[in-house]
Amino acid sequence: MNLTFSPEEQVFRAEVRHFLATALPQDISERVRLGRHLRADDHLRWQNILSEQGWLAANWPKEHGGPGWGPVQRHIFDEECAAAHAPTVVPFGVNMVAPVIMKFGSVEQQQYYLPRILRNQDWWCQGYSEPGAGSDLASLNTRAVREDDHYIVNGQKTWTTLGQHANMLFCLVRTDPHAKKQAGISFLLIDMQSPGVTVRPIITLDGAHEVNEVFLDNVPVPVENRVGAEGQGWTYAKYLLTHERTGIAGLGHAKQALRHLKSLASRIEHRGKPLLEQPSFRHRVLKAELELMALEVTNLRVIAAARDGGVPGAESSLLKIRGSELRQEISELTRRALGPAALPFFPAFLHGDDDLDEASAQNAAASAQYFNRRKLSIYGGANEIQKSIVAKTILGM
Amino acid sequence: MDFALTDEQRMLEETLTRLVTDQVSPEQRRLMLGASAGTSALWRTFSELGLLHMPFSEEVGGLGGDGTDLMIIMRALGRGLVPEAYLAGLVLPGQLLALTASDKQQARWLAPLLEGEHQLALAWQEYGARYDAFAISSQAIQRDGQWQLNGRKEVVLNLEAAAATLVTARLDNGKLGLFVVPAGASGTSTRIYRTIDDRPAGDLTLEHVTLPLENCLSEDVSTALAAVLALGRAALCAEAIGAMEVACDQTLAYLKERKQFGLPLATFQALQHRMVDMHLHLEQSRSMAILAATSLALPSSERDYKIAAAKAYCGESARFIAEQAIQLHGAMGMTEECYITPYAKHLVMFDHYLGDSDYHLETVSDLLKAA
């Protein structure tokens, strides 16, 4: 066994690093570094640059226009992007709906949507959760009733991330109310400009507008916008959940956040010494350091297994649980490190375009990010759901 | 980056797994523990399988096994809590001999060790220095063409079975020396006991023990000792992984079998999530044990950083898993006869061998890069 990257992989890392150093606009990376929310245009500019480079669809196979990277290269790419403060690619098109269209979509759907995603022409969002269907997603109630060559869709979706910018929605709807819960669900692609689609912001506890409610009121959706067979939507949704989850630990982000924390805590003074030397604080930083080391090797184990042809299954649940816990702990320590400087809140700077003096700007995001990171253990299947998945699928309980 | 085992390593793993399953049942383990010190049938089997040569370099007559090979062996031994002193009686003293001894000394002490003709022990630990191998107070003075040793070594594993014990002692110049003290040497006295997790051990008192010059292996053993202790820590992590696996497997089996309120315990979500937490600790610790096993050849500060991190991490996980295993077995988990309890005991006491989590976290702290 060895844990070192091959010479080719190291060359690849250098290539990615060089690209990021030259191509990533400084105003964007600075926004990411300071923890400010990105504007729609920031996302689009960066994704256009990646698209030009052929790296937007990092997970795609070559035949669909992806770079054909393996899991190791994707991991290196993610790590370098996080280290360079590059924005995370909005995943709903390129990493979520695209694999489903590739696997289950019609030729027409593939020919129409995939190139548009590759060229960053559509902004996709996800219509999964509903007010009454969170962890128990299969209990969703949004109805789609077939009328000739259309479905008429009625219902409400929620927690729709960045839906305010999106023009396309992929959506789980109930087409057969009499079938068993999972069996009556279909997978529709909905144009957000359709009549009857209303998007309303949900402001999260950090003051940010990241998620939305989407109301669907007699929305007509052409039947050709259904992916795959009627009633098979749950299968596709599950495929999506198991597809390419090696990045789920958020390792690059955790690494970057811990580097930042250590640097911060060695600059902040506490009783005449760096805070990092204060024993109880240092102890928690050390524990985070250890957890990161373990998580990194576990992540590499899953990546190597995927590279060698294995399908990461329930291991992604382990990575998700431990990765989210670690990132939350680091955000907690970063907030604590600032002491009283964690208290001032400047939402117009963090979420908008207001300027702020240099010193305040450096510290502005810590507390808001701490609150924002609480989502990590809730979204994508709450950690408790992940534990139940591990209990069932790995431990057979 | 490669986590796969080679064909030879897979064979080694299969052979050992079978051996441990066949020959180290709880009943057989009790019998072995009751037997008097000396070469056992199992040790002879180890010898036949090449295990005694495996972890040593080809230059000293070994098979040139690496950290991964050692990990495979130790994990298998951990799964059976095999009461043979593979690490304490062979690997640790043998590696120190390989690193420090002259050809003549190796012929006298190392060659028979590899041939299974005798076992040794390593006496590095003193209560006064706690886990610090370099803060000891035993002394060695050279006088009239001889060495004279004074001091007391505590919790020397495999002391009774050892033909000789390698003893660290401080020299006049402040450096750490290493000596071979044959069993029963004049001036030595021993108190033999078992540790609470059933490992044979003892204290060794040295009062004016006189040794010929050729019994001095090194007059500056610090670097070699640090390397060997690092190896020992990586090996202990691997052994603990084996024991953690069994503790998790057995606890899971018990939860599936035991019924209360008319249902198997495995159907209760509170217990499912505890079981998953055990599993998470195991998998993260497995990663750390791999990190340790693959760090042995790194420059010493990087090696010590990673291995200290692994030992600290595994120490906490081992205790967590042990405590959960006892708790989830309910009152049965409190009994001596319960399958799980020897594992739980070793997993808790793991932290007391070659430095506990706090000790190793300090090492990590000393070597932490700020950013």
- From residue A73, alpha-carbon distances to A6, A15, A76, B145 in Å are 11, 11, 5, 63
The answer to whether the CB atoms of B313 and A290 lie below 8 A apart is: yes
User: Collapsing DSSP states into helix, strand and coil, what is residue B52?
Assistant: coil
User: What are the chain A neighbours of B321 within 8 Å (beta carbons)?
Assistant: none
Nearest to A3 among B277, B284, B294 (CB): B294
Q: Which of A221, A203, A214 is nearest to A92 (CA)?
A: A214
B107 within 8 A of B180, measured Cβ to Cβ:
no
Q: Mapping DSSP to helix (H, G, I), strand (E, B) and coil, where does residue A284 land?
A: helix
Sorting pLDDT into bands at 50, 70 and 90, what band is A245? low
Instruction: State mean pLDDT over B274-292.
Output: 97
Candidate from B68, B277, B369 with C-beta closest to A1: B68
What are the tens digits of pLDDT across the range B306-338? 999 999 999 999 999 999 999 999 999 999 999
Amino acid at B204: L
Q: Could you give the CA distance from residue A167 to residue B70 in angstroms, rounded to a whole number? A: 57
Give B1→chain A minimum CA distance, Å. 5
Task: Say whether A391 and B275 touch across the interface (CB within 8 A).
Answer: yes
> Residues of B with CB below 8 A from A305's CB?
3
- How large is the average pLDDT for residues B143-158? 97
Q: Which of B283, B285, B291, B360 to mutate to test the interface with A (most CBs of A within 10 A)?
A: B283
Distance between CA atoms of residues B306 and B303, nearest Å: 5
ipTM of the complex model: 0.94
User: B185-212: b or e for each residue (b if 16 or more CB lie within 10 Å)?
Assistant: beebebeeeeeebbbbbbbbbbeebebe
Contact criterion met (CB < 8 Å) for A262 and B291: no
Question: Average pLDDT of A43-63?
Answer: 96
Degrees to nearest 5, angle at CA A164 with A159 and A169? 70
> Half-sphere exposure of residue B16, counting CA atoms within 13 Å on the CB side?
27
Give the pLDDT confidence score for residue B30 in this predicted structure: 87
Distance from CA of A388 to the nearest CA of B (A): 7
Q: Would you call A330 exposed, middle or buried from its count of C-beta atoms within 10 A (0-12, 13-18, 19+)?
A: buried
In whole angstroms, give the CA distance from residue B163 to residue A106: 76
Q: To which H or E segment does residue B169 belong?
A: strand B162-170
Read off the pTM: 0.95
Could you give the percent of chain A with pLDDT greater than 70?
98
Please give the Cα distance from A329 to B294 (Å, whole number): 28
Of A389, A378, A268, the closest CA to residue A333 belongs to A268
Per-residue pLDDT of A107-158, as tens digits, reads: 999 999 999 999 999 999 999 999 999 989 999 999 999 999 999 999 999 9
Instruction: Give tens-digit pLDDT for A174-225.
Output: 999 999 989 999 999 999 999 999 999 999 999 999 999 999 999 999 999 9
Chain B environment of A304 (Cβ under 8 Å): 1-4
Q: Which A positions 7-46 lie with beta carbon below 8 A of chain B?
A: 9
Q: Do A298 and B283 touch (CB under 8 A)?
A: yes
Asked if A262's CB is within 8 angstroms of B371's CB, the reply is yes
Those of residues 284-323 in A touching chain B at CB distance below 8 A are 285-287, 289-291, 293-298, 300-301, 303-305, 308, 315, 318, 321-322
Task: Sketch out chain A's domains with CATH numbers.
Answer: 7-89 (no CATH), 124-230 (2.40.110.10), 245-393 (1.20.140.10)
Question: For residue A151, what pLDDT is reported?
Answer: 98
pLDDT band at residue A315 under the 50/70/90 scheme:
confident
Residue of chain A with shortest Cα separation from B249: A395
pLDDT of residue B370: 65
For domain B120-220, give the CATH number: 2.40.110.10
State residue A310's pLDDT score: 79
B-chain residues within 8 Å CB-CB of A300? 1, 3
Torsions phi, psi of B219, nearest 5? -100, 5
Over residues B182-210, the pLDDT tens digits come to: 999 999 999 999 999 999 999 999 999 99
pLDDT per position as a tens digit, B254-265:
999 999 999 999
* Residue B165 bridge partners (DSSP): B121, B181
**C-beta of residue A142 within 8 angstroms of C-beta of residue A216:** yes
Question: How confident is the model at residue A312, as a pLDDT?
Answer: 65
Chain A hits for B370, CB-CB cut-off 8 Å, are: 262-263, 266, 276
Q: With bands split at pLDDT 50, 70 and 90, how would you rate the model's confidence at B38?
A: low
Q: How far is A250 from chain B (nearest CA, A)?
A: 16
Asked if the model's pLDDT at residue A244 lies above 70, the reply is no
Mean pLDDT for chain B? 96
Q: Which residue of B has its CA nearest to A10?
A: B1
CB distance B247 to B80 below 8 Å:
no
Residue B218 in contact with residue B100, Cβ under 8 Å? yes
CB contact under 8 A, A1 and B5: yes
In degrees, rounded to 5, the angle at the alpha carbon of residue A293 between the alpha carbons of residues B80 and A5 is 100
3-state secondary structure of A189: strand
State residue B175 phi and psi, 5-degree precision. Answer: -75, 165
Beta carbons of B364 and A5 less than 8 Å apart = no
Q: Is the confidence at residue A336, as pLDDT, over 80?
A: yes
What secondary structure, in 3-state letters, does B194-238 show? ECCCCCEEEEEEEEEEEEEHHHEEECCCHHHHHHHHHHHHHHHHH
In chain B, the residue whose alpha carbon lies closest to the alpha carbon of A318 is: B280
Chain B residues inside the 8 Å CB shell of A334: none
Closest chain B C-alpha to A205 CA, distance in angstroms? 28
Give the three-state DSSP class for B182: strand
Compute the nearest-CA separation of A78 from chain B (Å): 17
Q: How confident is the model at residue A243 (pLDDT cuts 50, 70, 90)?
A: low
How confident is the model over A369-394, as a mean pLDDT? 94
What residues does each domain of chain B span? 7-119, 120-220, 223-367
> Of B54, B4, B76, which is closest to residue B241 (Cα–Cα)?
B76
How close is the nearest chain B Cα to the Cα of A224, in Å? 42
Q: Which residues of A touch B10 (CB under 8 A)?
A: none
Return the sign of the alpha-carbon dihedral for residues B239, B244, B247, B249.
negative
Asked whether the predicted pLDDT for residue B37 surpasses 70, the reply is no
* Residue B273 confidence (pLDDT): 98
Rounded alpha-carbon distances, angstroms, from residue B314 to A291, B92, B341 = 11, 20, 18
CB contact under 8 A, A283 and B287: no
Residues A146 and A184: beta-carbon distance below 8 Å: no
User: What does the pLDDT look like over B217-265, one tens digit per residue?
Assistant: 999 999 999 999 999 999 999 999 999 999 999 999 999 999 999 999 9
CA angle A150, A156, A158 (to 5 degrees): 125
Which one of A79, A244, A315, A329 is the catalytic residue?
A: A244
Cβ(A392)–Cβ(A360) below 8 Å: no
| Contact residues on chain A for B256, CB-CB shorter than 8 A | 396-397
Q: Mean pLDDT over residues A35-61, rounded?
A: 97
A168-174/A124-127 β-pairing = parallel
Q: Check whether A316 has a pLDDT greater than 90.
A: no
Question: Domain B223-367: which CATH class?
Answer: mainly alpha
CB contact under 8 A, A322 and B284: yes
Q: Which of the following CATH numbers is that of domain B7-119: 1.10.3720.10, 2.50.20.10, 1.10.540.10, 1.20.58.340?
A: 1.10.540.10
Q: Which residue of A has its CA nearest to B275?
A: A391
Active site residue A384: no
Are the Cβ atoms of B272 and A388 closer than 8 angstroms?
yes
